[in-house]
Structure 1
Amino acid sequence: MKTEDLVTRLASDLRPVRRLPSPSVMLCLWTGFCTLVILAALWMLGMRKDVMEDGLARIDFWHMATAGLVALFSGFAAFQLALPDRDRRWALLPLPAIAAWLATMGWGCLADFTRLGAEGLRLTTSLPCLGFILGLGVPMTLGMVWLTRHAALLRPLPVATLGGLSAAAFASLGLTLVHELNASVMVLVWHGLAVLVVTALGAMAGPLLMQRAN
């Protein structure tokens, strides 16, 4: 077979490659999806009673702001790393927001200790807190895995981990609207545990799910 004929034959079945949306567009899609999940949870469980009575002034602004930054920055970093030509250092983007998020909860624990003494550091059980973040975080993580499934052969582990962290942070925002987060060690431990579990699930199951989604 002549070279020209071979090239013609190989090129005859080629299909144009669809360009992936930019990370900014993917982040908008991701944020919209997570917002719908949170709204569905609010529809089923209802808004916090104190917020319904007194308005948004009852919500911890700093917790909401820092959790929102973690959700957005982690998601944006995941979409950046899902592209083959992006620098791995995008994974560092959410670190300042994570530090600020932990600081807001840690500051609340310190305030409780100053006000209540050792009683303010007493650890109690908060399974609803854990269950809510898992209940929202897992389906959100699956949504992130679907959006970044093209990264299965590139950087599946960091993409899935950052996606799980973003999902957990969005779930935390939803929890703030449903359940009052009293500043205490209980919140820091159980809230943090739920976030870690969702992030770990993304890291462990995400790469495998990405491969199967392709």
Structure 2
Amino acid sequence: MILGIDIGGTSIAIGKLKNNQLIERKLTPTPFDKNLKDSLSLFIEMITPFICSKTKGIGIGVPSVVDTNQGIVYNVANIPSWEEVHLKDILEDKFNIPVKLNNDANCFVSGLKSFGEAKDYDNIIGITLGTGVGAGVIINGELYEGINTSAGEIGEMPYLDSIFEHYCASMFFTKKKTSGKEAFNLAQQGDKNALKLWEEFGFHLGKLEAQ
């Protein structure tokens, strides 16, 4: 069995896979307000119940730049205390099983290529939208990472008075004093202001995709 973990900006998803099938899943809030020691302790507590004698490895997608060779994550989104964490070493020492790390968007596009709608294509860009915005890139069937998995950090590109991430992720809705979920629910009910908000969001996202 393999453990797959997605460290999101607001929640951490932990899934147990057997024969490439998801057999168990849990969502837990991201410990964004904890210091380094406490947040790592909480993270290990989240993982521990999923570990058993049949667990062969752990794969983790992280919303940050990642040194995949050394297993170091830098400046993780929404966990301010994770400025430089040797996560691979910490978890391998704790659980004594192999750990692989990569940027979350790279994990997303790799999953699309291996198991999803993109498995028949060799050149792919997969965009992730959430707390932030990023991209995973596959060229000629191979994941293109750049330095420390930074090739897909499209949210950091300059745009208008700031960067794309402020217009193509959750911060866009926060600045409008709402949330993506609330705006979605209102739009589903035909609310004109919410529909206009999504139209504006789509405009900015289109500008990003056109880069």
Q: TM-score, normalised by structure 1?
A: 0.26
Point out the structure with max Rg over C-alpha: 1
Q: Which has the higher contact order (CA 8 A, sep 6+)?
A: 1
Higher helix share: 1
Higher strand share: 2
